[in-house]
Structure 1
Amino acid sequence: MTHLETELQLLKTDTIEMWKLVISQLDKTLHSLKSFDKDFSREVVSNEKRVNSMELKIDRDCENIFALYNPVAVDLRFVLATLKINNNLERIGDISEGISKFIISEKEPFDKELLKITRFEEMFKAANQIVTDVLHAFEKEDTKLARSIFEKDEKLDEINAMANKNIAEFIHKHPQKTEQALNVLSIIRRLERVGDQSKNIAEEIIFYLEAKVLRHIK
């Protein structure tokens, strides 16, 4: 194995490690919301520093590979794709932190009726599954699995599109819970962005493996 191949393998290993941390952050955020155990949310906020640190390390490693090895063809595409994937993963980590801060700010558990009518838990689990699936596509170099992310994201878009109507109806019935309902709406908006970040990652996987640029194609 050449020095470049060794560095590329280490880069992939580090990226997968960061990916799993980000998935863990989403898992803990959902658990905290369902159980109203704020310690899990505080752990997510604290762990965000680790996510940021890993992002900086992966960025530096990519820059070093460019400078020292001058990669070409598929190796070059891999490093370019990893740079962008790294950025998208960090943003998903930011989303988990933001949701956790909403949970910490709540004075009482989230209303069960509110969570049911907004399909909140369904959306959260779907978002987490999409991030997991796109990780598997990266690990297995599977562009078919990467392409499946675009369809899976439609569920998040659908739930997000209905959120305003569902939240408005809930507030009309329970005006005393307006603040919590608006927080749930903000969380739904963030979960929709998890799908967007995952689609970006899927596009980078396809770019790396097939040399096809999908961005901006209708």
Structure 2
Amino acid sequence: MPDKHLSRRFDAELALVSTRLLEMGGLAESQIACVLDALKSFDLGLLEHVGDDEHRLNLMEIAIDDEVVNAIARWQPTASDLRLLMAASKCAANLERVGDEARKIAKRTRRVAMDAGAWNLNIAEIKASGDMASHMLGGALDAFARMDATAATQIVRDDETIDAEFRAFVVKVVKSMKEDPRTVQLGLDYLSIAKSIERIGDHATNIAESVVYAVRGTDIRHEHRKQRGQENAAN
């Protein structure tokens, strides 16, 4: 009976860590949705709480890490339970960085909105990659909630699409800046936004990789990057 009681307490702590992480993920998703909507509409009112939300994400990461450390010290878990706790800590770190990138996008969007030429530059690639990054983040969190390694693996593969959109946008913006020097500052702001979106996709990928590790005990962090490098070299 005592063993069952202790087991239930440990299971409750694991569930709490997962719940806190998904709450943090929900806040990060909301933050990304706000900054992307603001970028599309130049409605700066949508950016009002971005700074506060980023601070909340920082505090949530610290709280999750504390819970993970305490759980490991108290229960000394092995195998899958230990992998889950380690994955949760890594996921929390990536979500905190998603908040950092959202803040950067908000800062650049405020500057872009003040530029009279902002409406004249086609940012289709940024919009598309932003939607993909948001979808990937939501999918990675859903994969964590269900501990679905198959879904997580697909998200890892999807990261290349965002990278391709970023590269295409860089080429287009650099060409625009060369043709019209007046667009240089605007182009640099948009390039910064595009880079932040690409990084959000990277963080979603990292979360998905952590899910695969938690479920299968397989570290695929460098595996798909090596494969991608081989494919690029072949092309």
TM-score per shorter chain, which class? over 0.9
Q: Which of 126, 141, 149 matches 2:147? A: 141
Q: Whole-Å Cα distance in 2 between the matches of residues 169 and 146 of structure 1?
A: 36
The gaps in structure 1 that reach 5 residues or longer are none
For the pair 1:195 / 2:201, whether they are aligned, the reply is yes
Work out whether residues 25 and 95 of structure 2, in 8 Å CA contact, stay in contact via their aligned partners in 1: yes
User: 2:177 is matched with which residue?
Assistant: 171
Any idea what the Cα deviations from partners look like across 1:171-216, whole Å, max 9, x if unmatched?
2444322211111011111111112111111111011101111123
The gaps in structure 2 that reach 5 residues or longer are 1-6, 227-235
Once superposed, which parts of structure 1, at least 4 consecutive aligned residues long, lie more than 3 Å away? none
Work out whether residues 141 and 207 of structure 2, in 8 Å CA contact, stay in contact via their aligned partners in 1: no
Q: Which of 25, 35, 43 matches 1:29? A: 35
The count of corresponding residues between Structure 1 and Structure 2 is 217
TM-score relative to the length of structure 2: 0.87
Q: Whole-Å Cα distance in 1 between the matches of residues 58 and 120 of structure 2?
A: 36
Shift of 1:109: 6.5
Q: Which amino acid aligns with 1:93?
A: G
Work out whether residues 143 and 149 of structure 2, in 8 Å CA contact, stay in contact via their aligned partners in 1: yes
- Cα distance change on mapping 1:10 and 1:110 into 2, 3 Å: farther
Q: Which amino acid aligns with 2:118?
A: D
Q: Whole-Å Cα distance in 1 between the matches of residues 175 and 78 of structure 2?
A: 56
Shift of 1:84: 0.7
User: 1:13 is matched with which residue?
Assistant: 19
For the pair 1:85 / 2:91, whether they are aligned, the reply is yes
Question: Percent identity between the aligned chains?
Answer: 31
Shift of 1:113: 4.2
Q: Point out the more displaced range, 7-16 or 105-114.
A: 105-114
Work out whether residues 156 and 192 of structure 1, in 8 Å CA contact, stay in contact via their aligned partners in 2: yes
User: 1:66 is matched with which residue?
Assistant: 72
TM-score relative to the length of structure 1: 0.93
Q: Partner of 1:115: helix, strand, or coil?
A: coil
Q: CA RMSD in A?
A: 1.6
Q: Which amino acid aligns with 1:176?
A: R
Q: Whole-Å Cα distance in 2 between the matches of residues 194 and 94 of structure 1?
A: 9
Work out whether residues 157 and 192 of structure 1, in 8 Å CA contact, stay in contact via their aligned partners in 2: yes
Q: Whole-Å Cα distance in 1 between the matches of residues 169 and 74 of structure 2?
A: 50
User: 1:111 is matched with which residue?
Assistant: 118
Bigger Rg over Cα = 2
User: 1:98 is matched with which residue?
Assistant: 104
Any idea what the Cα deviations from partners look like across 1:13-67, whole Å, max 9, x if unmatched?
0000000100100000011112212222231122111111101100111011011
